[in-house]
Amino acid sequence: MIPAAFEYVRAGTAAEAISLIGEHGEDAKFLAGGMSLLPLMKLRLATPSVLVDVGRIRDLSYVRDAGDHLAIGALTRHRDLETSDLLARECGVLRAVAAQVGDNQVRHRGTIGGSVAHGDPASDLPAALLALDATFVVQGPGGPRSVAANDFFEGFLETALAPDELLTEIQVRKSGASGFAYEKFNRRAQDWAIVGAVAARVNGGTHVALVNMGATPLRATAVETALTQGASAADAAREAAVGTEPPADLNASPEYRTHLAQVLVRRALEAI
């Protein structure tokens, strides 16, 4: 399978990338690690006329202690997240979730920013970032702006990013080395989650987010509310599918996904 023909240009800096994408219009797309975009292009489900390769912008690859939060460059690879000591100490959940993305080969190429910008509800990291109340810094021709994770994921593969905006940084609160769990359910090694549940103690509360239970990653707000009202993990987990619209596909029916969400949220809550 070969992608449809396109023009390839490489950006050396974020500013250059934004100027290049502006020059080439709406049919141009950014290419980071390519772990989501290239498979879609090979299936010709995506046919951009221009790819702006941002994969070599080295100064967007970092995990930094920024005082009250951690700052993660958008081009930081999953491999660099899963081996980051700083992340292990200050935000263990993100490191653990990154270690469950795809397989080694995918983690050697895929980036956190690419995963977020792609906006796939079946991806692991977007749900974790939603649970962490992350902030996304995006840069466009008019300068940078910040978008809360809660406002970022708008629909299936749709995000708040304008076509000429580049996600440059992910900011997460420090949530410590422990107090989290990620329950990912799939039937084949390396596959996407049929359903996944992230639970993490953040800022004194318990946050829960779901993978693949709707068109976007979702916060399990009914579970969180039940927990604040003193419900047990088992009782709160029964609320896991409230407000979700789980998809039907070859792997699972909506009813089965609802069941999985309840079981996985219970396991995650019992583990933290």
Binding site for another protein (CB under 8 A): 1-8, 10, 31, 34-35, 38-39, 41-42, 51, 53, 55, 79, 102-106, 108-109, 189-190
In the complex with another protein, the residue whose CB is nearer, 44 or 145, is: 44
Q: To the nearest whole angstrom, how small is the minimum distance from the Cβ of residue 232 to another protein?
A: 32
In the complex with another protein, the residue whose CB is nearer, 189 or 250, is: 189
Q: To the nearest whole angstrom, how small is the minimum distance from the Cβ of residue 44 to another protein?
A: 11
Q: To the nearest whole angstrom, how small is the minimum distance from the Cβ of residue 45 to another protein?
A: 12
Q: To the nearest whole angstrom, how small is the minimum distance from the Cβ of residue 120 to another protein?
A: 14
Alpha helix locations (H) across 25-176? Answer: 37-42, 78-82, 85-90, 92-98, 104-109, 112-118, 124-131, 149-152
Q: How far apart are CA 192 and CA 207, in angstroms?
A: 22
For residue 194, the SS3 value is coil
Strands 50-53 and 28-31, by their bridges, are parallel
Those residues with Cβ within 8 angstroms of residue 45's Cβ, 6 or more apart along the chain or in another chain: none
Q: To the nearest whole angstrom, how small is the minimum distance from the Cβ of residue 108 to another protein?
A: 4
For residue 42, the SS3 value is helix
Cβ atoms within 10 Å, residue 10: 15
Q: How many Å from the N-terminal Cα to the C-terminal Cα in the chain?
A: 44
Q: To the nearest whole angstrom, how small is the minimum distance from the Cβ of residue 245 to another protein?
A: 27
In the complex with another protein, the residue whose CB is nearer, 77 or 257, is: 77
In the complex with another protein, the residue whose CB is nearer, 21 or 129, is: 21
In the complex with another protein, the residue whose CB is nearer, 190 or 232, is: 190
In the complex with another protein, the residue whose CB is nearer, 47 or 203, is: 47
CB 208 within 8 A of CB 238: no
Phi, psi dihedral angles at 196 (to 5 degrees): -135, 155
